[in-house]
Amino acid sequence: MAIPAVIAHGGAGPGPSRQENLEVAINKASEILVAGGNAIDAAVQACMILEDDPVFNAGTGSVMRTDGSVLTDASIQTSDGKIGFVIAMEDTPNPILVAADLLNEEINGLTSEGARMWADNNGHIKRKVIGVPPKGQIGDTNKQITGDTVGVITRDTTGMIVVATSTGGCSFRPPGRVGDVPLPGSGFWAEEGLAVAATGIGEAITRALLSYKVFEKIKVGKYSLEESMNWGINKLISSKDSVGLIALGPSGPGLGVSNTDMPWATWEQESSE
């Protein structure tokens, strides 16, 4: 029997002031896992807490695109081979719920109006997301480009590992832009008792296929989680791009590594709990 565990992050860049908010999600996932719940439920419920908290760039707190629109992305993958992702969804403060519904469908991913139509037909009620203006102005050289995301990885007693990620996207990006969060291998990867999730500037993460490359490095077995994640951040990503990673394996707690401030927290059940 595997020991339940969870790790979550609140985005690369926002700093430790969001640590307490993040821990609410960790507590929710750990409660579900201690009660015998599965890793999918724990990851989805924890991700929803982060989507509903306006301090994070996901769901309710999503940053506006350059045209003022608010479009949300989310993804989920299980270590036993299921995947679901949604891209650029309007009026969807909890895109992780739509992504999670795709785990048991023939299709893996949906985008834009089609994703919203599918959500309407599957009981996901439309809800306007006001969003948050980005810090700075377009054309201003001091504008703050951040690619915050929220991410959760859970492990249940069966040893199943699930990764869930959600974002409003990088600031100062146009409405049709696709970041790393909904792209398998870029923003997330889970397989065979191991999962990795990324946060930060989506273009840099996507160019590096960061989550899959780090996953592969860990799987080879020669390098620890920490060595592999540091390799990913330092060798595959320019120091100009704020990027962070979390990972969780078949045993032990998870680990977070970033080249900037990234609130993260992990929990593993104690044998007496």
Distance CA 97, CA 193 (A): 23
Minimal distance in Å, beta carbon 70 to ligand GLY? 13
Is 199 marked active-site?
no
Stretch in the footprint of ligand GLY (CB under 6 A) among 78-86, 121-129, 156-164, 199-207: 199-207
Distance CA 256, CA 273 (A): 24
- Residue 200 in the binding site for ligand GLY (CB under 6 A): yes
Of 59, 169, 256, 263, the residue at the interface with ligand GLY (CB under 6 A) is 169
Minimal distance in Å, beta carbon 202 to ligand GLY? 2
DSSP 63: B
Which position among 78, 149, 165, 266 bears the catalytic label? Answer: 149
31-48 burial, b at 16+ Cβ within 10 Å, e below that, comes to ebbeeebbbbbbbbbbbb
Give the other-Cβ count within 10 Å of 29's Cβ: 30
Stretch in the footprint of ligand GLY (CB under 6 A) among 89-97, 152-160, 177-185, 252-260: 177-185
Stretch in the footprint of ligand GLY (CB under 6 A) among 25-33, 78-86, 163-171, 262-270: 163-171
DSSP 58: S
Which amino acid, residue 169? G
Of 51, 53, 180, 241, the residue at the interface with ligand GLY (CB under 6 A) is 180
Task: Report which secondary-structure segment, H or E, holds 199.
Answer: strand 194-200
Give Rg (Cα) of the chain: 17
Nearer to ligand GLY, 180 or 268 (CB): 180
Q: In the complex, which residues of this chain contact ligand GLY (CB under 6 A)?
A: 147, 149, 167, 169-170, 179-181, 199-202
